[in-house]
Amino acid sequence: MIRFFKFFPFKLAPLFKFAPLMICVSLLCAGHSAAFDADDLAKLKKTNHCPGCDLSSADLQNANLYNADLNRANLQGANLRHAILAEASLHYANLRNAILQNAILEDALLLGANLSNANLQGANLEGIQLGSTNLSNTDLTNATWRDGCKCQDAECSNCR
């Protein structure tokens, strides 16, 4: 019988001592980076006022966030499909990779917001304020733009 470990030029036994520690650290780091704060989500649902909250990857599909205060909130990767964000304040909010398909953002304030890689297909963007907003790689296909035009492609370069 050939011994498997004889082919390695180093000893594996010392590495196994640290395996439980490495597993715990990786689980803690992974959980922290991808999850929203449950207290922040509860606060938003109760008050519609949650500036600076961590709502990353939260499921806010069909949420009524009319006139919500989400300034500087982290909504990275959040699901906001069909959400009502009309007249919401999202100054400097992080909406990177957020899903905003068919969301209503009419008259929303998005000054300095990060919408890079977000999906805004079919969203209502009439009257929004976008100064210094990052729209790189944002999908705006069929979104209704500020002047009522419809975007015919992902970048909204063909609006009519």
Give a yes or no: residue 69 inside a domain.
Answer: yes
Question: What tens digit of pLDDT does each residue of 69-95 get?
Answer: 999 999 999 999 999 999 999 999 999
> The domain containing residue 98 runs over which residues?
57-152
In this predicted structure, which of 38-42, 103-107, 131-135, 156-160 has the lowest mean pLDDT?
A: 156-160
In the chain, the number of structural domains is 1
pTM of the model: 0.74
Give a yes or no: residue 117 inside a domain.
Answer: yes
Give a yes or no: residue 38 inside a domain.
Answer: no
The answer to whether 23 and 43 are in contact (CB under 8 A) is no
Is 47's pLDDT higher than 80?
yes
pLDDT of residue 127: 92
pLDDT of residue 35: 82
Please state the rounded mean pLDDT for residues 39-51.
96
Phi/psi zone of residue 125: left (φ > 0), alpha (ψ -120 to 50 degrees), beta? alpha
pLDDT of residue 140: 93
Give a yes or no: residue 130 inside a domain.
Answer: yes
What are the angstrom distances between the C-alpha of 97 and each of 27, 75, 137, 148?
23, 9, 10, 25
Strands (DSSP E) along 30-147, which ranges?
none
- Residue 17's pLDDT band (boundaries 50, 70, 90)? low
